Amino acid sequence: MNRIEGKTAIITGATAGIGYKTAELMAVEGVKLILTGRREKRLQEIKNQLTEQYNTTVDVASFDVQDAEACRSFVESLSTPVDILINNAGLAKGTDPVYGASFDDWNTMIDTNMKGLLYLSRLISPQMRERNTGHIINIGSTAGHESYAGGVVYSATKHAVKAITEATKKDLHGTDVRVSMISPGLVETEFSEVRFRGDKEKAAKVYEGMKPLTPEDIAEIIVFVANRPAHVNIMDTIIYPVSQSSATMVHRDE
Ligand code: NDP
Ligand code: 8X3
């Protein structure tokens, strides 16, 4: 049953990976999309592609979620209430240990994965609370359940997403607003290329000899979570590829 047709969804970080695939699968379901990311040209291309292929509307807005005022202007520019907010924009920078990492990388991860998600939740949740309806879906990670060497701040930001998701649900307790989190393990997207600053070879090694999750695997789960009956709130989903059993246990072909 399609319960999300005609609903309006914001997807942050829709220019690539999980966000882009979620946009496409939601377009199939007839969701009205508001897609964001920093790459304006890519957003326009996606808008053209999805509106040509699917029977829905697509608006786009290019801004950096690290910028609180840009988030505020974006939300103030919206002409329609938002039913679903998918806080997906996020990244890892580097795999340096706590004794060698760069402050800039830490700030980028904290400002994007935590503060960007918080800004949009802060700006969108009042209208959901007032209307007594809506759904905030935060993209966490298995790194939000288990930290690993080389992921000190990335893991911290994803543990924060877990805390923010749980506390947001509690802040909205007694309303019909739903709050969920999706926690994927290894998904092959631009994620590792961004983490390794464009080093494609290093990025490819992350997925070598194993079958990672695809953006579609996760997008299907996001759509499933959004499409539950109004009284069903899925708090979290932890998804690994079958060859992964923890952050560091990854079975690879010889
Ligand atoms: P991608 O790198 O493929 O996509 C990341 C998206 O986030 C892009 O659309 C990018 O858009 C956007 N983004 C990054 N920084 C900003 C910013 N400052 N402002 C606005 N948008 C931004 O990675 P994934 O699809 O893999 O990642 C999506 C989410 O999933 C992230 O939160 C990530 O932490 C999480 N995740 C990923 C896993 C994986 O293994 N890939 C596993 C678990 C969780 P643009 O560059 O245009 O700004
Ligand atoms: C991304 C998965 O294992 O690289 O969140 O942290 S991992």
- CATH number of the structural domain spanning residue 134: 3.40.50.720
pLDDT, average across residues 235-248: 97
Asked if residue 78 has pLDDT above 90, the reply is yes
pLDDT above 90 coverage of the chain, percent? 99
Give the model's confidence band at 40: pLDDT under 50 very low, under 70 low, under 90 confident, else very high: very high
What is the structure's pLDDT at 149?
Answer: 98
Residue 248 domain flag:
no
pLDDT single digits (tens) 122-171: 999 999 999 999 999 999 999 999 999 999 999 999 999 999 999 999 99
Which atom of ligand 2 lies closest to the CA of 191?
Answer: 1
What is the structure's pLDDT at 216?
Answer: 99
pTM above 0.95, yes or no: yes
- Number of alpha carbons in the 13 Å side-chain half-sphere of residue 48: 6
Asked if residue 223 has pLDDT above 90, the reply is yes
pLDDT single digits (tens) 168-186: 999 999 999 999 999 999 9
Say which amino acid occupies 230: A
What is the structure's pLDDT at 182?
Answer: 98
Closest by Cα among 248, 113, 252 to 191:
113
DSSP the chain: ----TT-EEEESSTTSHHHHHHHHHHHHTT-EEEEEES-HHHHHHHHHHHHHHSSS-EEEEE--TT-HHHHHHHHHH--S--SEEEE----------TTT--HHHHHHHIIIIIIIHHHHHHHHHHHHHHHT--EEEEE--GGGTS--TT-HHHHHHHHHHHHHHHHHHHHTTTSS-EEEEEEES-B-SSHHHHHTTT-HHHHHHHTTTS--B-HHHHHHHHHHHHTS-TT----EEEE--TTBSSSS-B----
Number of domains, the chain:
1
Residue 81 domain flag:
yes
Nearest listed ligand to the Cα of residue 198:
1
The pLDDT mean for the chain works out to: 98
- Per the annotation, the verdict on 240 as an active-site residue is no
Q: Could you tell me the distance, in angstroms and rounded to a whole number, from the CA of residue 84 to the centre of ligand 2? A: 24
Q: Is 39 in the pocket of ligand 1 (CB under 6 A)?
A: yes
Q: Is 203 in the pocket of ligand 1 (CB under 6 A)?
A: no
Asked if residue 115 has pLDDT above 90, the reply is yes
pLDDT above 70 coverage of the chain, percent? 100
Residue 146 domain flag:
yes
Which atom of ligand 2 lies closest to the CA of 192?
Answer: 4
Q: Could you tell me the distance, in angstroms and rounded to a whole number, from the CA of residue 191 to the centre of ligand 1? A: 6
Which atom of ligand 1 lies closest to the CA of 215?
Answer: 25
Which residue puts its alpha carbon closest to atom 31 of ligand 1? 90
Which residue puts its alpha carbon closest to atom 4 of ligand 2? 186
Residue 77 domain flag:
yes
Residues whose CB is less than 8 angstroms from the CB of residue 233 and which lie 6 or more positions away in sequence, other chains included:
169, 178, 179, 180
Q: Is 67 in the pocket of ligand 1 (CB under 6 A)?
A: no
Residue 253 domain flag:
no
pLDDT, average across residues 13-18: 98
pLDDT, average across residues 55-81: 98
Catalytic residue among 54, 154, 207, 240: 154
Asked if residue 254 has pLDDT above 90, the reply is no
Which residue puts its alpha carbon closest to atom 39 of ligand 1? 187
Residue 2 domain flag:
no
Range of the domain at 171: 8-239
Residue 175 domain flag:
yes
